[in-house]
Amino acid sequence: MGRWKLIGLATAAAVLVSIILGVAIGVPVSKRNAESDLERATRILTESPLIDGHNDLPWQYFTNIKNQIDKVNLEDNIKDSWKNPPSKIPSQTDIPRLRQGRVGAQFWAAYVSCRTERRDAVRNTLQQIDIVKRFVKKYPQTFQFVRSAQEIRDAFKDGKIGSLIGVEGGHSIDSDLATLRMFYELGVRYMTITHSCNTPWADNWLVESGDHPSIANGLTEFGKNVIREMNRMGMLVDLSHVSFKTMTDTLDEAQAPVIYSHSSAYALCNSTRNVPDDILKRVKDNGGVVMVNFYTSYISCNQSYATLDQVADHIEYIRDTSSIDNVGIGADYDGVSYLPEGLEDVSTFPDLFAELVRRGWSDEDLKKLAGENLLRVLEKAEEFRDSQADAEPIDDWIEESDVKDYPCRSNFTQATGIEA
């Protein structure tokens, strides 16, 4: 064999070795095959469930078709199908796109407007819980209603999308612990302590901007009882939408890990819907998880534009400020009108994970982000619940003076016909 031929073969071998090493250690994206990153991301999401913390599809059922479930077929791509009246935003969720997005489990939000507070919030929330159970039952080949971490794993093993319910807003319980307990019996596994309105016992995020006056200065004593009772039952405490003081008060009180079902990093976008650094550090100590929201206003602080890369930046910031064990995904699909370029609907989750592959994330860390962190949090909540098996339910009532101006709520004397 000639000298130049040997040199040529040696050069080719060196190039091959450099390519293999480059893939192994991570090289600039321009020198790697983007499709291989997507394939790896997709493989990871077939091995471990992607658990999205917040999707508002039930609200779309209500606002577009008044919960008349047969008016839409989720087995079709329904992006432009909502009628009666047309949706303000194209649908971001249906079964084909959920499958394309490799969604393994989903918290469906039972959201009702703050306009129902002091009126018919409980009834409206029950309607939202009902529609979740109905569409899960209608598509048994796709969805499976689940109530525990193990049931999520079992559904994923069976190729089903484990479906859970989160009540989005403490106004839904009408300041009543018995209502909270009944929601848990119906399968609700988290409650967002406030939405964009105060309750008589907790302040919401708009207090920080001065748009709402503080009512509770964080949590009142009854608000602390709500946290205690949620811990006792094993219901996850969700701190998305609450004021910073409510976050602090809750973390002081909580005996089980908390979640943020759909919030991002305040340091990268100073919306008070996001989580500041001092709280991120406390979430690490608490063992909770912050599930990153995709809404452009909470990613770039620009209502109409953000990018997939910026969402990845929020994920990495929370990982670096808290830890890899304290970050998850809570996209907020079908609840927001503007989404980042590249993350327009539920089909795009693998693209986000492919970007993190390009950034050098390990398989183990990607699985934690996808759902293992949330599963651990839910398991810890269940462990604490089991440890409290002999504890009696908290039967304290809210102070009548705190709800005296609720027009549709009778006080104790009126309700019982006796003097308290």
Exposure string (b/e) for 400-419, b if CB count within 10 Å is 16 or more?
A: eebbeebeebeeeeeeeeee
Residue 127 pLDDT:
98
Residue 80 pLDDT:
81
Instruction: Write down the catalytic residue from 54, 238, 249, 313.
Output: 54
pLDDT tens digits along 94-124: 999 999 999 999 999 999 999 999 899 999 9
Instruction: Write down the catalytic residue from 241, 313, 345, 355.
Output: 241
Residue 401 pLDDT:
82
Question: Would residue 95 be called left, alpha or beta, if left means φ above 0 and alpha means ψ between -120 and 50 degrees?
Answer: alpha
Active site residue 314: no
Instruction: Write down the catalytic residue from 52, 94, 117, 168.
Output: 168
Q: Which residues contact 227 (CB under 8 A, 6 or more apart)?
A: 193, 219, 237, 250, 253, 254
**Closest C-alpha among 168, 63, 65 to residue 110:** 168
Residue 395 to residue 179: CA distance in whole angstroms: 11
> How does DSSP assign 317-377, residue by residue?
HHHHHS-GGGEEE---BTS-S---BT-SSGGGHHHHHHHHHHTT--HHHHHIIIIIHHHHH
pLDDT tens digits along 235-292: 999 999 999 999 999 999 999 999 999 999 999 999 999 999 999 999 999 999 999 9
Instruction: Write down the catalytic residue from 117, 195, 229, 345.
Output: 195
Instruction: Answer yes or no: pTM beyond 0.85.
Output: yes
Question: What is the DSSP code (8-state) at residue 307?
Answer: B
**Closest C-alpha among 30, 37, 32, 107 to residue 350:** 37
* Planar angle of CA 246, 390, 200, nearest 5 degrees: 25
Instruction: Write down the catalytic residue from 56, 203, 334, 365.
Output: 56
Active site residue 56: yes
Exposure string (b/e) for 349-372, b if CB count within 10 Å is 16 or more?
A: bbbbbbbbbbeebeeebbbbbbbb
Active site residue 332: yes
Residue 219 to residue 388: CA distance in whole angstroms: 23
Asked if 260 contacts 242 with a C-beta cutoff of 8 angstroms, the reply is no
> How does DSSP assign 206-228, residue by residue?
GGTTTSS--SSSSB-HHHHHHHH
Residue 90 pLDDT:
84
Instruction: Write down the catalytic residue from 174, 203, 249, 262.
Output: 262
Name residues of the chain where pLDDT drops below 50. 1-32, 34, 84, 416, 418-420
Question: What is the DSSP code (8-state) at residue 260?
Answer: E
Residue 120 pLDDT:
95
3-state SS class at 138: helix
Active site residue 212: no
Residue 409 pLDDT:
65
Residue 220 pLDDT:
97
Residue 213 pLDDT:
95
Residue 314 to residue 289: CA distance in whole angstroms: 14
> How does DSSP assign 227-244, residue by residue?
HHHHHHHTPEEE-TTB-H
Residue 159 pLDDT:
98
**Closest C-alpha among 406, 53, 56, 412 to residue 198:** 406
Asked if 162 contacts 151 with a C-beta cutoff of 8 angstroms, the reply is yes
- Report domain 42-389's class: alpha beta
**Closest C-alpha among 107, 98, 102 to residue 58:** 107
Residue 397 to residue 83: CA distance in whole angstroms: 43
Instruction: Write down the catalytic residue from 325, 332, 355, 365.
Output: 332
